[in-house]
Structure formats: C-alpha cells, structure tokens
Structure 1
C-alpha cells in the first residue's frame, strides 16, 4: 500500500469529512473523491460508508486506523533514511543573515579539513525549521533570543550554542545630520521587518518598547537583513541588523553604529539537528560545529 493512500484514508478518518480531508491534502473535493474511489478499486474493497453524511469509514477499516498510522510513520522514516543514504552532500539550512555573515567561514573551516560537500539553503527561521523537520536539511543554523527561542519538543532535537551576536541599529555615516534632524522632532525613520518573520518579532517585542519616546516611521519593509543593511547604507532609514553582517561597513566608516544611543538586542547563534540516525558526513559536520 502506498504512503499517500494511507495518508488520504487517515485524512478522512481524522477530519470526519471528505471536504476537510481534501483541503488537508491540498486537492479539490472532486479530485480527492476520485482518488479515494481509485484506492478502493485498487484494494478491491469499499472503505467508506457513503450512505452516511458525513462519510464514515466502515467499521472494519476504522479498526485498522491505528495500524495505518504506525505504518505511515514507518514509511516516512524509511523514505527519509533512504534519502539520507542517497544524498551526496550535507544540507545546512540557515537564516539569511547567517548564510551571508557566518556560514561562509564555517564552510571554509570544514572544507579545509574534510572532503565533504555542503549545500547551504537560506530562508527565514520558520522555513529553516520546516526543512529540518521534513529532513530536507541535516542541520539548521538560527538566531534566538531569551524571549524568542525556537519552539521545539524536548528530546526531539539536539542543540548547540555556537556563539553570540547582537542586533544593532545602523545608518549611513555621511547622512547623520539628516537623522539628527528627524530625532530632534521625535521621529525615527526605520526599515521594518514583517512581523511574521523572526526579526520582525524581535523589533516588535524587544526593541520598540525601548523606544517609547520616539515615533517610529517605517520607510521600507523587507524580510531580508541584507536588503535592510543596504537601505541603511543609502541613508533611507535606520536598520537593525546582526552585528556580524554590518561589521565591515561599520569598521570602514560607511555605517554608523547607533547601538549606544538606540540600544542593541543580544542574539544567540544556535545550531540544531534532529535526534536521529545521520550519515557519516552529516555527523562529521555536526561534530565540527560543536567543536567550534
């Protein structure tokens, strides 16, 4: 029996409705109904009592739901394990800022001592975590704060703290007079992050409350810290970005670090992986990360 068949049957059993099951499986109701009929034809038995509204599993099929759930879990694990075995590189998913500022040195250090192929995937924090959970990535690199740790089940993943960073406010050094004029009027032009991304939540929960005496004026919004950095460099607005990302431009004098005036937010730089069997290469990369 195919995994997708089991998942289709369980979707109906768990939602109690063909309509809701179709939504869960990302299919139209008609397409899902045809697929259910096809499954029944292939198995040579009717699984659902269509005389009832909503449709219900026949008692004999309902009794097998527990076994089907266990089988689905085993098949997913088998597929993941086979995928891991066939993979010829280690996949690291990391937040955009980490991919730009931190990951290159890490990859260089690993590559210098080991013949291991590494593929970097850059995404926001939630997307990185999804890649880890679905085993599209072997390791995840991410930022966390005390207020915003990564939500995860205890015992489900391994965590390693790689170091510390900080979210700092920066602005074009050559245009500080313009910023001072805005501040004198009680206004702060800022680059905003969408609230559904990690740095957007940090700005909302940790940084904005400290700036209660100022009116924040969003001049642009982006989910990408690198874009926020460039907006700050042009003098469009103040951007809060990881210190590691802005370091070179601050050192060169292109950007001014406004942290002493507007405040900084400490960040924890973390690595995580699933508690599961890993390929030898993925294990070696994890050990290299943990060794610092």
Structure 2
C-alpha cells in the first residue's frame, strides 16, 4: 500500500469525479483509476461506486476516516522528523522547573545568548523527578533545577556533573492585616495557637530544603498546615489572600514585596538559602553544550 493511493482516494471522495481527481493529482484518468483499484484490492473491499457523480460505498465511508487520519499523522510526523534533522546539533535542549522557567531562566538565557552568540533553545518544564528523568533519558542536554537533598539523591554524581548558577533564598512571607502589619508572626505570639502554614507538596524540590532548615532551628516553630500544593505560584496566591504564612523563593515574591502585597516575617534566621544548579551528563559531545558548560563553569561554583 502506498501513501499516494490514500491521497488519491481522499481527493476522489472530495471531488466525486475520476477525471477531476486525476487532473488534481496530475496523473492520467486511466492511471488514476488503476491506483484506486489497487487500493481496493489492498483493502479487500469495494470503496467506490462508479456512478455519476461518484459515491462511496459503506466500506468506502468507513475507510475515508482512516485514510484522512493516516495522511494527517504521517505528514505531521514527517515534518517533525525533518525539523529535528535540520536542527540537530543546533538547538540546545533544556529542562527546568515551571517556576524557574518564569523567574530565573529568561534572564540566564539572555546572558548566555549575549555571551556565546544567539542560538535556538527548546525548553521543557515539569516537576523535579520529571525533568531529571528527561536528562537521564537523553531527551535534554542540560537541566536547570533547584538544588536540594532530594535532587542530589536522584542525580548520580558518577553520571552527571553540576555547577551552581545562582544563590537563592526562601523567604517567610504573609499578607498584611488591617493595620498594615504582618498578619502572622514568627515565632508565634501565642505558642499555643499554631500559625496557619501554606506548605509544599512532596513533589516540590524545595520541600526538603525547608524541612531541613526548620528541623535545625533551636526552637521548633508552631505551624499548622492549612494548605499545600505542588505549585509555588498557587501557594503565592494563597499567601497574598491572607490564607497563611509561606516560605517562597525570593525571585518569585520580590515584586509583591515591593508592591506591599506581601510582607517579610521573622528575622534572618527564618530565611533559607539554597542553590540553582546546572546539570549535564558526563561525556556529552554536543559542541554547543560543551561551549556553554565551559563558559559558565569558569565563573560558577562547582557543586561536586
């Protein structure tokens, strides 16, 4: 069976005329008829009623849907494969977290573009485990991710190398009360009344970073989880609405702090430092990856 036969059949169904379909397909009328007959032999059923105008048999109506879908899928896949071949070795494939894609990546990409010259990039986002798997499977060349105890456990240093791109802070924030003061205090004014806490779901990388910090405080905080989500942006919106206290990345909350939508809570001991790291598989032979890696490594702090 040939793709040409399917395209002939779809054109015949559209025009309902052998002569017009043959003309549109740039073949002679007899040759076109032979191709339709060959398709019917391959299918094992009569597809076309040779009437004036041409009509489709019940089998032909059923087969038309399959033929149209097959043509669309094959052309789409061919276009995708051609694009992949044309851009092979030129497009930098990077995976990162959804929040980092909004807060950190645009500025970092602009910087490396200015430094190494313009180049195309393909960015995919997801949860920590999802983007780490993309690096492990070879679907991406580089991984930009929050560094935490959990990510360091998931990423084998024997297979992957990393550099620190930036330092970040988790800041404790909340909305203001009617008098413009923080709605919640750290530590709690009344230890018997836990502070409503907007927390991270297990899938979020920074959950482990925050848990480690809170466990190391000299005095345990009285917190009551009232909301948790697998999205830093969702937690941000709940904090702005006054639903509770949240620790969020500084880059995510800095505009809301400037505008007064959120206020800092507690002293410096309540702020949590962490890294944004870049990972690649050892031995990656992509020239663009190597050039960027060598460049950022020269002014980054090695995590290994």
Question: Shared topology, TM-score over 0.5?
Answer: yes
1:226-248 CA-partner distances (Å, limit 9, x unpaired): 22122212211111111122122
Shift of 1:191: 0.9
Gaps of 5+ in 2: 1-83, 300-304
TM-score by length of 1: 0.62
RMSD: 3.0
Assess if the C-alpha contact under 8 Å between 2:145 and 2:278 holds in 1: yes
Alignment partner, residue 157 of structure 2: 154
Shift of 1:134: 0.5
Q: Distance in 2 between matches of 1:141 and 1:208?
A: 27
Q: 1:184 to 1:153 in 2, by over 3 A?
A: closer
Alignment partner, residue 39 of structure 2: none
1:242 equivalenced with 2:249 (yes/no): yes
Alignment partner, residue 126 of structure 1: 129
Shift of 1:212: 5.0
- Counterpart mapping for 1:96-175 below 5 A: 96-112=98-114, 114-145=117-148, 147-148=149-150, 150-151=152-153, 152-174=155-177
Q: 1:278 to 1:205 in 2, by over 3 A?
A: same
Shift of 1:197: 3.1
Shift of 1:149: 5.5
Alignment partner, residue 199 of structure 2: 192
| SS at structure 1 position matched to 2:93 | strand
Shift of 1:132: 0.5
Q: 1:174 to 1:96 in 2, by over 3 A?
A: farther
Assess if the C-alpha contact under 8 Å between 2:128 and 2:204 holds in 1: yes
Shift of 1:104: 0.7
TM-score by length of 2: 0.60
Shift of 1:207: 2.0
Alignment partner, residue 269 of structure 1: 276
Q: Which runs of 4+ in 1 moved over 6 A?
A: 82-85
